[in-house]
Chain A
Amino acid sequence: MQFGVFSVSDITRDPVTGTTPSEAERIQGAIAIAKKTEEVGLDVYAIGEHHNPPFFSSSPTTLLAAIAGQTERIVLSTATTLITTNDPVRLAEEYAMLQHVSNGRMDLMLGRGNTAPVYPWFGQDIRQGLPLALEHYNLLHRLWREDVVDWEGRFRTPLQGFTSTPRPLDDVPPFVWHGSIRTPEIAEQAAYYGDGFFANNIFWPKEHYIRLIEFYRQRFAHYGHGTPEQAIVGLGGQAFIAKRSQDAIRAFRPYFDEAPVYGNGPRMEDFMAGTPLSVGSPQEVIDKTLTFRESFGDYQRQLFLVDHAGLPLGTVLDQLELLGGEVVPVLRREMAKNRPESVPDAPTHASLVAAKYGDAEPRQPRPRPNRGDNVTGASPYEDSDPAVQARLPLVG
């Protein structure tokens, strides 16, 4: 079971001090938060992707690469990477590169994005968001698994004889999670490929997410990847912790009341009662988080939202101390109890390499020499499968 944090990358005015951090402060803060995440013993740091103010994370792989260079153990991920408005070819290239520079300490979570103007800014149409996401991922999946890809679809210019470089580390593609809250097609795609499925579990009562996760589990089994209980499920959640419950409530209330998403709406107490938000003592956060397992079954990854709504960096780092020091150790112990042996952990690069090669040496692709035309044809690597021939367009 992995525990970690995920960030939206919002730059929000601190409602207590009245000051808004600069982009520079928030970006350096994100790196500090990621390093702290590792220091306190958590497993995963994930960052969102946005292309408009007041968010800073337009280039997640650059940020995650910097963090990879300053950490040793944590898995770096995204929450989410936009599979709609990004070119899947660029995603294949950028995340394979991140996989190499992080020595395999990464995976990614795909999502559609719901900021309408982002689509036209990147030449896409939000009304086609779902087929766009599905088609793009079908291509991305192939680009990481086939040395040479011929492809034609509805949304992207066709590819003939295309090789995405670098090939994934050890020729093992990054593990992919698919994030969705009410789209069965996304759950179906995750199940079809045996990928992970993530429910953000933030804004709504958890009952909203149960049916989609159950659907994903059933379809995962249908496609022969294991039993429903062996499907790879991740959940979000949000917590604000203090030693004493009343201190947590008092400290977090101004941030809740002006939070960009739910602020100026429900009372914090009502939102806590109705959604997975917990604000309270370590024990209260533990108790609430343990209800997720009862609702969704044994799962693989729990991410908490901790750096949002204008919370200052110092407070976020303190939160991580409490999360890593007092909450997660208990959660690890409790969630391990009665967990069947057959329920797998979240895949890591090491486990995927072992699954693919066993004790054998992983493939290390070595390219053939440049022929002078900057392409290497149908067999770009010394060990590319000669049976795979690209259908290059005929000229003349």
Chain B
Amino acid sequence: MSTTRRLVIVSGGTSDPSSTRMLADRIAQRAVIRAAEAGFDLELSVVELRPLAADLASAQVTGFAPATVQEAIDRLAQADAVVVATPVYKAGISGLVKSFVDVLDQDLLIATPVVLAATAGTARHALVVDEQLRSLFAYLRALPTPTSVFAASDDWGSSSLSERIDRAATELVVLIEAGVRDRMREASWHRYQHTFGGAASAPGFDAVDLDSDLMRLAAGGR
């Protein structure tokens, strides 16, 4: 087993600097430290959604991902873990983040550990991350850590934010170290719905199940 694992940050922040990106970075950096303590390396990469905004809109109407978006999808397909961070707009997650998730094959993130994070101007939006992001990633059959991280403006002055970041990062590293993603996929890949030729088909997973009821029906149904 390789001792380097890939952690991909997906940030829906749109300003520069962005507090959403900053939150994601802090979670990822904490995860790097916890991983080093556990004896493995985390290689970080970032998918910033802002530069993809026009291409994501195009992907929505054409049904296929332009090269820039495809590159981001391919990166996620190779991720051992993900940090997703969204700003809260109008009491919900950012449309940019949702647009990105909408173009992902639904098997892309199966059993992939994910830290869910959100930023907002007020603590009144605190449940957006658990009520919207968590259900979204449940649909993708991803594996959100028990702790999600929400940061309102005044949280940036509180040490309790760092504690939550550390807790989420630690949970993430435990899931990565345990190899949960690979083990779940090996145990039951065929039991999820897949997109033929989708980005999720890692080596060993791309064989079509020829023994399904539908395949038997295709072959004359006898």
Contact = CB atoms under 8 A, between A and B. Distances in A.
Interface of A: 130-131, 134-135, 138, 153, 182-186, 188-189, 192-193, 203-205, 208, 211-212, 215, 261-262, 264-266, 270-271, 274-275
Nearest to A209: B197
Contact of A192 (B60, B63, B67, B220): B220
B221 A274 contact: no
Contact of A212 (B64, B66, B196, B215): B196
Nearest to A208: B197
A189 B219 CA distance: 6
Given A203-B64, A211-B196, A265 B58 contact: yes
A134 B63 contact: no
B91 interface: no
Given A182-B196, A183-B196, A184-B208, A262 B217 contact: no
Which residue among A188, A193, A212, A261 has the maximum number of chain B CB atoms within 10 Å of its CB?
A188
B190 to A, nearest CB: 13
B2 interface: no
Given A188-B219, A266-B66, A131 B214 contact: yes
B62 A262 contact: yes
Given A212-B197, A264-B61, A138 B220 contact: yes
A116 to B, nearest CB: 15
B18 interface: no
B218 interface: yes
B195 interface: yes
Interface of B: 57-58, 60-64, 66-67, 195-197, 208, 210, 214-215, 217-221
Contact of A135 (B63, B210, B215, B217): B217
Given A215-B208, A265-B57, A265-B61, A192 B218 contact: yes
Contact of B217 (A138, A182, A203, A204): A138
Contact of A265 (B62, B196, B219): B62
Contacts of B61: 262, 264-266
Contacts of B62: 203, 261-262, 265-266, 271
A184 B210 CA distance: 9
Given A265-B58, A274-B67, A134 B195 contact: no
A192 B214 contact: no
A268 to B, nearest CB: 12
Nearest to A186: B218
Nearest to A188: B218
Contacts of A135: 217, 221
A188 B66 CA distance: 29
A196 to B, nearest CB: 15
B214 A134 contact: yes
A211 B197 CA distance: 6
Given A182-B197, A212-B197, A274 B64 contact: yes
Q: 6 shortest A-B CB distances, which residue pairs?
A: A265-B61, A189-B218, A188-B218, A266-B58, A204-B64, A211-B197
B158 to A, nearest CB: 44
B66 A134 contact: no
Contact of A185 (B63, B195, B197, B214): B214
A287 B185 CA distance: 42
B58 to A, nearest CB: 4
26 contacts: A138-B220, A153-B221, A184-B208, A185-B214, A188-B208, A188-B210, A188-B215, A188-B218, A189-B218, A192-B219, A192-B220, A203-B62, A203-B63, A204-B64, A205-B64, A211-B197, A212-B197, A261-B62, A265-B57, A265-B58, A265-B61, A266-B58, A271-B62, A274-B64, A274-B66, A275-B64
A221 B24 CA distance: 51
B66 A270 contact: yes
A130 B220 contact: no
Given A184-B196, A184-B208, A265-B57, A208 B64 contact: yes
A364 B119 CA distance: 77
A274 B58 CA distance: 12
A186 B208 CA distance: 12
A344 to B, nearest CB: 23
A134 B221 contact: yes
Nearest to A207: B197
A266 B66 CA distance: 9
Contacts of A262: 61-62
A130 B216 CA distance: 12
Contacts of A270: 58, 66
